Amino acid sequence: MSEIMTLVAGSALPIIVIIAWFYRLDRARPEPVGLIGRSVLFGFLAAVPAILLEFVVDLPTAVLPFPFSIVWTAFITAALVEEGVKYFFLKRYLVTNRHFDEVMDGILYAVCVSLGFAFAENILYGLADRGALLLRAFTAVPMHAAATGIMGYWMGLAKRESHPARAAAMYRKGFMTAVLIHGLYDLFLFTASFLALGAVVILLIAIAKVLGLARQARLIDDMDSGSGTRD
């Protein structure tokens, strides 16, 4: 029992820290805690169809030569499938929610969904190797939050856009940006060489980008609400 509790706690700790950070960024007009919890649950549940889809989608790598096999796994099997299921849950269950009414909300809910997904991954990786949890806390977990958080920014902008074509373009941009970040991160890792350091560069760029977009989102939301600039 103690081993299971250690696994769950180690898997959850970085998730809680990052969610708390983004929730604090949205503190001027905070979201319902219950909906935050549901968003994390959606992400956790999204791991189930993702695992099934990845098993099928990755079959072509058996006949693809290197390096095409790792490119396929990074961008199609991992990035496209995983960001795709996150996008589905966000678009289907959260964008339409009445509490999703600001651009910053898009980032927050997207981060929550992504971290629910990362929590499920942590459990699976932790079952095989507890040490992987510490490494993932500073790499894969924030990568999920940053990539999907950027997608959430564009979803937040899209929801406030009255022109359907422009809104659709924003949804596409957010999704493809998340896939690109996720795919590049995994591609560098999958090289299993010194090039794997490139994943750290992608991670740092993605984190800087999502934090910058969070500042921009808050400014947009402040202007929409007529309030002053938040610190």
C-beta neighbour count of 160 within 10 angstroms: 15
User: What are the tokens at 104?
Assistant: 């910053």
According to DSSP, residue 17 is labeled H
User: What are the tokens at 164?
Assistant: 């359907």
The pLDDT value given to residue 130: 81
From first to last of its 231 residues, the chain has per-residue pLDDT tens of 677 888 888 899 999 999 999 999 988 888 999 999 999 999 999 999 999 999 999 999 999 999 999 999 999 999 999 999 999 999 999 999 999 999 999 999 999 999 999 999 999 999 888 888 999 999 999 999 999 999 999 999 999 888 999 999 999 999 999 999 999 999 999 998 899 999 999 999 999 999 999 999 999 999 987 755 444
The pLDDT value given to residue 1: 60
Q: Find the Cα–Cα–Cα–Cα dihedral 41, 109, 230, 204, rounded to 10°.
A: 100
Classify the C-alpha dihedral 27-141-114-172 as positive or negative. positive
The pLDDT value given to residue 231: 45
* Consecutive H or E run containing 32: none
Q: Give the contacts of 198 (CB within 8 A, at least 6 positions apart).
A: 184, 188
CB 145 within 8 A of CB 115: yes
The pLDDT value given to residue 32: 93
Task: Mark out the alpha helices in the chain (DSSP H runs).
Answer: 2-25, 33-57, 68-72, 81-89, 103-128, 131-137, 140-160, 164-190, 197-225
